[in-house]
Structure 1
Amino acid sequence: MTLTELRYIVAVARERHFGRAAEACFVSQPTLSVAIKKLEEELEIKLFERGGSEVSVTPLGDEIVRQAQATLESAASIKEIARRGKDPLAGPLRLGVIYTIGPYLLPELVRHTIERVPQMPLLLQENFTVRLLEMLRTGELDCAILAEPFPDTGLAIAPLYDEPFMVAVPVKHPLATRSGISSAELKQETMLLLGNGHCFRDHVLEVCPEFARFASDAEGIRKSFEGSSLETIKHMVASGMGITVVPQLSIPRPEASQGAPLVGYIPFTDPVPTRRVVLAWRRSFTRYEAIAALRNAIYACRLSGVKRLTA
């Protein structure tokens, strides 16, 4: 049994496809298949069910894949320990970010990271929460910036900030002149929401459960639109199609505005809905200095309107 064989079975379990797993490991498919068959013969068990267009992991195979991942991480940590002896921050850091944070935090975060720790480039991945958690578990990512709550996966977590929500309305909307809006006042409005898979959609539905009623004759929301990104939805708000709820950091800064604004942003009245944004990483990840450096770089960003957390 070799680390290379363990790397192959982890890749197949992740990709659910021998061809894609071989590409991810930079080997030919026959090479990968022969190695896995050899390992199955050595262990005298079947790791994968091969049938149809997708490969599935057997129950026993799933346990072995998890142990293989832990073994690969332990082997990688040996190199990390040696590297930390020379420079604790040397080498790239693989960072995941959810879609409703990435566009508003990453540009400034990358700049601060380059300035502070140029020897630690960020390898970035934007995705849904559930996919980022899976990538953390399998070792494809070192850490991720997420919004709570999410399933408890035994990760180490450091809180970053609490971010209030705002209501985005067309500038000519009757609500645009208000200094504050309660969630109850939004029941009769046309609401534009992110599509399924976005955790921010779930946050909005928690604030205003009425938004989950999509039928045109439902009491409350007359109609709804599901968008793929907050920026798409904000453009639709600007065109007068409805209103939406957005996180504070997604609001354009005044210096970035060109011409007269088409969207107005109004705060909620108390109690103001918020989301907690955290940095999460595997407890087995050994580059503690890299996590601390990343968190410091995040705090160096402006983060206007949010409550920074240091606990």
Structure 2
Amino acid sequence: MKLRDLEYVIAIDRYLNFGRAAEACNVSQPALSSQVKKLEERLGVEIFARSNHKVMATEAGNRIIETAKDMLKSARQIKDFAAEYRDPMSVPLRIGIFPTLAPFIVPYVAETVRELSAEMKLVFREAPTKQLISELENRRIDIALVSGPVDHPSSNFTPVFREKLKLAVSDSHRLANQQNIAPQDIPEEEMILLDEDHCLRDDALKLCHNKFVGADVPEDLQATSLLTTTHYITQGYGLTLVPTLAETFLGAANPAVNFLDIDDPAYGRTIGFLSRKGCPREHILMALCDKIRAQLPRGVTAAA
């Protein structure tokens, strides 16, 4: 069984048309049809049910197609692994970023990488930190921007910058006219927390010592993004902690939200890269970290 045959099968499943599949695979339709027919004969099952008007995968075909996708993915990974050691700059750099940072830093990271190498392609992946750690172990991503420090036996955490957390309130809130606030004056019972997958939720709970955190927020009120929490705030549902890099974006989306500085340096998070130990692209990561430290995103400071 050749990988090329599997590519034909996946193309047919995608386009549900032998002619378009052949065009996508850069072969003639008779050649593609013949190879798929030979594969079906070797397997002893029909992969596709054919009629004059359409092509559809059979039940057996669906299972074969899913396995074929996995096999081709593994084959591509093998090529990438080899290229990663032979020429680290030739393989796309896959960067994972957690959700309360990704929307506000992807353009900056992309531009910074382009300044290092105009040829290197980037693939971004947004996911919660726990998932990013798992995907880093499984080599689905090369590096991950996370809030740390992160202590993991097979990974290294390299701090890059420190980002303050601010208190977001609506312009009708009793605190709206203040520019800053002391931690002890934050009405923690009004705090809107993100879902449990978010590390910013964990940060908020660690910083808030009141056991009644969020007690005055409706029990069923839930948010999976900072943008959603600011919408809730403008509807009079409370307040929340917001990272500095999100302020401009969230303020533009919701002008009725005010952001207060918190008079305590503990209200912040350290952002850095998580990478696999022994990664052959470590020198690329170090160059990227140096570049970021030399031209930090607006509003953050270098990590200690």
Whether TM-score is above 0.5 comes out as: yes
The alignment partner of 1:193 has SS state of coil
- In structure 1, the partner of 2:278 is 284
The SS at the match of 1:235 is helix
CA distance in 2, matches of 1:208, 1:269: 14
Aligned positions of 1:104-143 closer than 5 A: 104-143=104-143
* CA 157–240 in structure 1, closer or farther in 2 if over 3 Å, else same: same
The farther-off stretch of 239-248 and 269-278 is: 269-278
Tell me the CA shift for residue 264 of structure 1: 0.4
Which residue, 45, 67, 72 being the options, matches 1:26?
72
Match of 1:244 among 230, 240, 244: 240
- For 1:115 and 1:271, the matched residues in 2 are separated by 32
Which blocks of at least 5 consecutive residues in structure 2 are unaligned?
A: 1-62
Structure 2 equivalent of residue 180 of structure 1: 180
Residue type of the alignment partner of 1:235: H
Gaps of 5+ in 1: 1-16, 33-71, 215-220
Q: Matched residues in 1 for 2:176 and 2:212: separation?
A: 24
RMSD: 3.1
Q: In structure 2, how many angstroms separate the alpha carbons of the residues matched to 1:300 and 1:212?
A: 42
Superposition deviation, residue 147 in structure 1: 0.5
In 2, the alpha carbon distance for the partners of 1:149 and 1:212 equals 27
Task: Summarize the Cα distance change of 1:188–1:142 in structure 2 as closer, same or farther, 3 Å threshold.
Answer: closer
1:80 matched residue in structure 2: 84
Q: Which runs of 4+ in 1 moved over 6 A?
A: none
Per mean C-alpha deviation after superposition, the further-off stretch among 138-147 and 289-298 is 289-298
One-letter amino acid of the counterpart of residue 81, structure 1 = Y
Equivalent position amino acid for 2:85 in 1? I
Listed as ranges, the matches of 1:1-311 within 5 Å are: 22-26=68-72, 78-83=82-87, 88-187=88-187, 189-210=189-210, 213=213, 221-224=215-218, 225-252=221-248, 257=252, 261-299=255-293, 302-309=296-303
Displacement, 1:213?
A: 4.9
> Aligned with 2:248: secondary structure?
coil
Q: Give the residue type in structure 1 aligned to 2:183.
A: S
Cα deviations by residue, 1:134-156 (Å, 9 ceiling, x for unpaired): 01111111110000144523312
Identical aligned pairs, as a percentage?
A: 26
**One-letter amino acid of the structure 2 residue matched with residue 131 of structure 1:** Q
Contact 1:89 1:289 in 2 (8 A): no
How has the CA–CA distance of structure 1 residues 96 and 150 changed in structure 2, closer, same or farther, with 3 Å as cutoff?
same
Q: Secondary structure at the match of 2:119?
A: coil
Task: State which structure, 1 or 2, has the greater radius of gyration over its C-alpha atoms.
Answer: 2
Report the secondary structure of 1:266's partner residue: strand
Number of residue-to-residue matches in the alignment: 238
| Contact persistence 1:187–1:210 (CA under 8 A) | no
Structure-2 separation of matches of 1:20 and 1:234:
41
